[in-house]
Chain A
Amino acid sequence: MLSYTLKRLAIAIPTLLILIVVSFVLMHAAPGGPFTSERELPPEVLANLNAKYGLDQPLWRQIVTYVWGIVTQFDFGPSFVYKDRTVNEIIAQGFPVTLTYGILSFVVAVVVGVTLGVVAAIRQNTVADYFAVGVSIGAQVLPNFVMAPILVLVFTLWLGWLPGGGWQGGQWQYVIMPVIALSTSFMASIARITRSSMLETLTMNHIRTARAKGLPERRVILRHALKPAMLPVISYLGPAFVGMITGSVVVDVYFSTGGIGKAFVDSALNRDYAVMMGVTILMGALTILFNLVVDILYGWIDPKIRY
């Protein structure tokens, strides 16, 4: 188990390197640069800017310098566009925001999704089941960029209950809509997966035995059925995590939360090479870490899996 973890972490390093090289090359090969502006810059000024940010160096050299800066000082360089900020600062500002609503969305999606799924499974073919299935099927296909403006329209303009955007350091009023918009489709997927895997588990022998022993239904479900039924849900968490990163772009755009998703899209549009790299690496590292956690969790629940 430990050696497995170490092996996985060892793979992370070449992975990140590949990611850095690919992104670097893609970025630099694209038309336009960070200093492309309405008026073509005089060559002298452009040369100065390029020198200031090291863009006059050969590409391989830039990559090496860049990686070196990260390894030795954890320094992702200055932003090319937001000139009074470093990439570290931009990430330090945006990441906690993304992390906050991301984690909340994750928790909501899992808790509500699993509950819905279990209830639907236990009450199979009742009104509750149909309701849960109906809601989750519908919610799964409604893109969050449709949901977000509807939420704002209803809760901000019509009802006047919640502010239409902003973050304000994460006060609860500002967090609700981003979390709903981000979590709903994942919640729905989790509900569906839980339901079907729960139904399957309930037909298994050890559940039958537990029931035959006269254990209360509650206990049968929570103690014996839930854990094995969680396996498919856990293997879904990895993709869900990646999906949430994507969804954060929509949340940031619609709710002006100032998170990392918007920072990425902006940096791509502005050719802010440094920020783009920083966010990509951060997301890559997180994905690796998260997948690892999911795998360990998986092994913990299902001892049959060996590493």
Chain B
Amino acid sequence: MVVNQQKMRALSDRLAEDADSPGRSLWADARRRFLANRAAMTGLAMLVLVTLFALFGGTLAQWSNEELDYTVMGMVAEEGGPRLDNGHYFGTDELGRDLYARTVQGTQVSLLVGVVGALVAVSVGTLYGAVAGYAGGRVDNAMMRAVDVLMSIPYMFVLILILVMYGRSMTALFVGLGLISWLEMSRIVRGQTLSLKNREFIEAARATGVPAATIIRRHILPNLAGVIAVYATLLVPLMILTESFISFLGLGVQEPLTSLGALISEGAGTIAYGTIWQLGFPLLFFVLTLFGFFFVGDGLRDALDPKDR
């Protein structure tokens, strides 16, 4: 799974073209198209569902995410399956902890990691790209060469290094994941900034002596909103997938906290022992989340760039 860079570029070109015309109709059109897109609406419904589950699912739980249920502990394969009578709707994990509560909590962490990671990536990428594009000339050249250089670094290795070396923490994850993914974003933003820069309304602003920072903030960034929104939405599932890989390596969040990736990894490990629910329920929410973001992101892009279907 990856963001289709070609389509992102097409979208970016399109939005740059529209920049002079008043933005209102673009967004209104986009909204209409988005609402008419069945896949996107299904995705949105999935996301709403998953988010509600993450936010309020805990109120239905009869167990906390860390309590051990001694009545099933040690007999999880026989007694730990999904049941209503003992309050383990999703069954329990190997230690007899309530899988429902853990899935709720894991969904929270996965969403958080995904969204924050994507925000870090998008913010850094946007800022970097906008500055490079606006400055132009040598600065632009140097900044983009640096991006080329960074692009060739096997980031997963560096991320593993960071997590192995400095222990695991949410912050390290956010930063590490975010820093992996800002490069493409910066390229797209730079391209769009370049083409916006010479438009009349920007030239006019510059002529009246508005400082560069203000121009970027007032005139460039708002016109990037479409690209940013689409890119961020499509990055979230990537972040969640990457986090799951990190969890598989045992470098994810600390117990008793968990993530969907960690739960899936545990469930997959014990798949041969007749405790399929330990894989099934977390995987369901994992898949729903990824699909949700994926469809919504795709739908947003199509809505903003209608010639692309």
Contact = CB atoms under 8 A, between A and B. Distances in A.
Do A and B interact directly, with beta carbons closer than 8 Å? yes
A137 B4 contact: no
Contacts of B26: none
Contacts of A232: 4-7
A29 B1 CA distance: 34
A146 B283 contact: yes
Interface string A223-252: 000000001100110011011011001100
A22 B161 CA distance: 11
B279 interface: yes
A141 B148 contact: no
Interface string A165-193: 00000000000000000000100010001
A150 interface: yes
B276 to A, nearest CB: 11
Contacts of A150: 268, 271
B290 interface: yes
B86 to A, nearest CB: 27
Chain A, interface residues (CB within 8 Å), range = 35 or more
Interface string B273-292: 00000010001001100110
Contacts of A196: 7, 309
A189 B162 CA distance: 29
A19 interface: yes
B4 A200 contact: no
| Majority SS at the chain A contact face | helix
Contact of A19 (B145, B153, B160, B261): B153
B290 A141 contact: yes
A82 to B, nearest CB: 18
B279 A146 contact: yes
Chain B, interface residues (CB within 8 Å), range = 35 or more
Contact of B2 (A138, A189, A245): A189
A189 B1 contact: yes
B79 to A, nearest CB: 23
B207 interface: no
B271 A153 contact: yes
A11 interface: yes
Interface of A: 11-12, 14-15, 18-19, 22-23, 26-27, 29-31, 137-138, 140-143, 145-146, 149-150, 153, 157, 185, 189, 193, 196-197, 199-200, 231-232, 235-236, 239-240, 242-243, 245-246, 249-250, 264-265, 268-269, 276, 279-280, 283-284, 287-288, 291
5 contacts: A22-B158, A30-B166, A245-B156, A280-B157, A287-B152
Interface of B: 1-2, 4-7, 145, 148-149, 151-158, 160-162, 164-166, 237, 241, 244-245, 248-249, 261, 264-265, 268-269, 271-272, 279, 283, 286-287, 290-291, 294, 308-309
